[in-house]
Every structure is written in C-alpha cells, then in structure tokens.
Amino acid sequence: MSSSFVDRLATGRPGLWELGGQLPADALVLQLGGAGWQCHVVDLTGTTSKESVIDRFAAALAFPEWCGRNWDAFNDCIADLDWLPETTRRAVVVLGATDLAQADRSSWGTLVEILRAVAASSEDAGGPRTQVLVLDVPIVR
C-alpha cells in the first residue's frame, strides 16, 4: 500500500475498502498510525457465527457491557464508539473473515452492510471520519 492510498483514505469519502491481502495487517496499521489514524484491528479468524463476530468486534473496540449479541445492538455500538479516545480519523481493519464468509454468508452480508453504512454515515455525523478496511475477503456487493 502506498502513501497515496493513505492520502486517498484521508481525503476521499469514508467507506468500506477491499484490500485483498495486498499488505500485512501490521504494516497497514503502522502506515495508518504514522499518518495520524486511530487504528483498531478486528481479527475474525475462526469466526463462523454472528455471535462470535460481535464478540470479536466488542473486544477490539471495547464495546460497553450493555451491547447485546445481535445485529441491532452491534449496529448501535459500531455506529457510536464515543467511548474510544477522541480522534478525527479512525480505521477499522478487518482481517481473517474468510471463515465467516464461507460458513455464514448471511451474517457476512449483514456485517458488510452495517460496516458500509457506518463508514458512509461518519462523513455527516460530525465525529471522526471512519474507514473500514477488509484485508482478505471479497466484499459482497
């Protein structure tokens, strides 16, 4: 990934980006962090259900205890993130989603839909610009 890609993330519309494993997660996080992004890595390796996905996001993003293990609660938490340190740019790096995409296409599709909406709404929400980067699985269109 080049610095021009990081620049595009900073200046382009917030969204969901499919990177197809072009760069190891640690290198991606290092580049983004060096450019002033607050990065959160969500490793979904081995997840095959909605509940396990929500648990992984909850751990990586320090969801409050009241967050339930259903899509409505997940959406409420991922769309808010006010408990995280203040920032103007946030990146959520998702990796290891292959197992979920293969085992539970419905949950993978719902997750992508929610993440896409959260990223898009961050442009108008007045909070940090949020980019979601998926490293290893094609995004359902």
Mean pLDDT of the chain: 83
18 three-class SS: strand
Question: What distance in Å separates the CA atoms of residue 33 and residue 52, rounded to the nearest whole number?
Answer: 27
pLDDT tens, position by position, 94-105: 888 889 989 999
Residue with tokens 């490293």: 135
* Helical residues (DSSP H) of 38-140, grouped into ranges: 50-60, 71-80, 98-103, 105-122
Question: What 8-state DSSP symbol labels residue 12?
Answer: S
pLDDT tens, position by position, 125-136: 666 777 777 766
38 three-class SS: strand
pTM of the entire predicted model: 0.85
Task: Give the number of domains in the chain.
Answer: 1
For residue 62, give the amino acid letter.
Answer: A
84 falls within a domain = yes
* Token duo for residue 88: 């103007």
Q: Judge whether 36 and 89 are in contact, CB under 8 Å.
A: yes
139 falls within a domain = no
For the domain that residue 48 is a member of, what is the CATH number? 3.30.370.10
56 falls within a domain = yes
140 falls within a domain = no
